[in-house]
Chains A and B, each alone.
Chain A
Amino acid sequence: MKFFPLILANLFRKKLRTTLTVGSFAVALFLFGLLAAIRASFNQGVNIAGADRLVVINKVSIIQPLPIADRDHILRIPGVKNITFDIWFGGVYQDPKNFFPQFAIDTANQRIVFPELHVPDDQWKAFLGDREGAIVGASTAKRFGWKIGDRIPLQAPIYGGTWEFNIDGIYTGTPQASDLTQFWLHYDYLDERRQFGKGMIGWYTVKMDSPDDATRVAAAIDSMFANSPYETKTETEKAMAGSFVKQFGNIEFLILAIGGVVFFTLLLVTGNTMAIAVRERLGELAVFKAIGFSDRFVSLFVLGESLLISLLGGIIGLALCKLAMPGIGDALRGMLPFIALPVSTLAVGLGVAIAVGLLAGILPATSAMRLRVVDALRRV
């Protein structure tokens, strides 16, 4: 600890250079935090998916519908406990930028199949009694400042015209484990009012008796509708969420590639800074050795500086990222409902910063260790 002021004093020898290097670390770690949060947000949907739920979609594409009549056939398959369905509404609130997902739901089974999304009983009751009613997720309600009783107009590019809904309830859940951005309306109301596609739904969500039945039940559903006009593709909710993420491309690779390039550049920048810092004060390091500081101490001294720069930059960058996360979430307007910076990411970020700091400091520290006092003093 008594050597810490020495490291600190050297660090601020060239304030501008140190500030810029710490700044580059901060920017890199901010970017790392952001990319990691986006990656985690994409994967969060996969992680929270119910293990005992299957999703049944049209084999051609999720945007192709399925008949509502299939429901009763599926329910008869052994191992199927319950079933519900949804269909994409695709409305626009004021401006297309104000995106949030809207689904017409099967009010009879929604709460049974998705018990993790909580709607107070009185609000649910009000919703059931109101054909133009809607239940909205807490995040979306907060985003637009909606409260129960508000009347919300949505433009409906798919079904045409303006549809108005009454907010009858707000559903909640654990923010990190539930998508709180959805907007639910009555399927019956949609089916009655729309001009086409009557009796069709978007996809089914099947609740099973046991997750162990998943493969068998999925195969049974798909074989039941094989060679019909509406063939199905059934996957676990987790696999479905995973496929959805894959539609965006290899996000993981993209993030790793960008992160890798950023950190490699950072390694070169910091390594160069440390090399210059050591070269500039060879004489001083020689004096340290002359008065009795060991080679090992001098190398640790240089390494300590590099580490301190990286840690400072890392902490600043990750702290800024953490602080910016709510703003980023708002700016993305619900596109990534789970965006957040988990503690594990912060720890990994700091670990990466430390690793880069150590790697960047190794060469200068080694040259400082090997420095011959006589040669260095001759140059002073």
Chain B
Amino acid sequence: MVRVDGNGKTDSLIQVRGLDKTYRRGGEEIHVLQGLNLDVEKGDFVAFMGPSGSGKTTLLNLLGGLDVPSRGSITVAGDEITHMSGNKLTHWRARHVGFIFQMYNLIPVLTAFQNIELPLLLTKLSKSERRQHVETALSIVGLADRAHHYPRQLSGGQEQRVAIARALIADPTFLLCDEPTGDLDRKSADEILNLLTRLSTEFSKTILMVTHDPMAAERAQATLHLNKGVLVEGAHAGGPA
């Protein structure tokens, strides 16, 4: 059960408390996130909506350990990540976070297989074990026959499925999706959303997704709205309901 009031269970998978993020532009301070609380439990599929500049991507970056908050704490599976060193955070990301980006961000000179294999290069798995994992991931995303295709030889929807397979391959604690359907046509977007829904329901994956698309948000179990740095449960974009 997703909560934003700071009164979630103490054993929630993700616990965010009093999160602030402030940027300084020129002499001016911009408060992107203000005192944000969030509790996400294992297997939750949460959508974040909100107008541009509302802080959705900033929140995702903070949850993924790509950025550090100005104040507050983020605890994931018992690990407080806000005070981790850069190196520790890098290792933590490799173990706990699967990123899915709007522009797929595949490495163009690597095949689908090699792109998916990347996170496994950081593990001690043997070559044959890595191959087995990649083949499984490829079959989950329905691209077993595209293993040796380069990103330029794939459609947008297929590229995003490869990106999802790459995010899944190391079996992370949760997936962070930043507008995963933002660059896709409706049909491809639906395929991706079907896949994410399946990952949530069939594989109990915890998914946090930023989206502008109400149809995408509908697939999530809960939709949270960000407006002016404040997270509101069950509200509509543009302001609290």
Write the residues of chain A forming the contact surface with B, with a CB cutoff of 8 angstroms.
2-3, 5-6, 9-10, 12-13, 283-284, 287-295, 373-374, 377, 380
Contact = CB atoms under 8 A, between A and B. Distances in A.
Contacts of A380: 101, 103, 105
Secondary structure class of chain B's binding surface, majority of residues: helix
Contact of B93 (A13, A291, A295, A374): A291
A220 B148 CA distance: 84
A345 to B, nearest CB: 36
Contacts of B122: 292-293
Nearest to B122: A292
Interface stretch (B4-12, B83-91, B199-207): B83-91
B221 interface: no
Interface residues of B, number: 27
A121 B204 CA distance: 95
A42 B29 CA distance: 71
Interface string B93-107: 111000101010101
Interface stretch (B43-51, B113-121, B188-196): B113-121
A94 to B, nearest CB: 59
26 contacts: A2-B121, A6-B110, A9-B109, A9-B110, A13-B109, A284-B108, A287-B101, A287-B107, A289-B90, A290-B93, A290-B99, A291-B93, A291-B119, A291-B166, A292-B94, A292-B170, A293-B90, A293-B94, A294-B87, A295-B87, A373-B66, A374-B66, A374-B67, A377-B66, A377-B101, A380-B101
B70 to A, nearest CB: 14
B87 A291 contact: no
Given A283-B105, A380-B103, A5 B114 contact: yes
Contacts of A291: 93-94, 99, 118-119, 166
A377 B91 CA distance: 19
Nearest to B125: A2
Contacts of B86: 295
Given A287-B99, A292-B122, A377-B105, 8 more contacts: A6-B121, A284-B105, A287-B105, A288-B118, A290-B66, A290-B93, A293-B94, A294-B91
Interface of B: 61, 64, 66-67, 86-87, 90-91, 93-95, 99, 101, 103, 105, 107-110, 114, 118-119, 121-122, 127, 166, 170
B101 to A, nearest CB: 7
Given A9-B109, A10-B109, A294 B103 contact: no
Contact of A13 (B64, B66, B90, B108): B108
A284 B107 contact: yes
Interface centre among A288, A295, A377, A380 (most CB of B within 10 A): A377
Nearest to B111: A9
B110 A294 contact: no
A2 B166 CA distance: 17
Nearest to B61: A374
Contacts of B101: 287, 377, 380
B137 to A, nearest CB: 14
Contacts of B95: 292
Nearest to B103: A380
Closest 5 CB pairs of A and B: A292-B94, A9-B109, A287-B105, A373-B66, A374-B67
A12 B66 contact: no
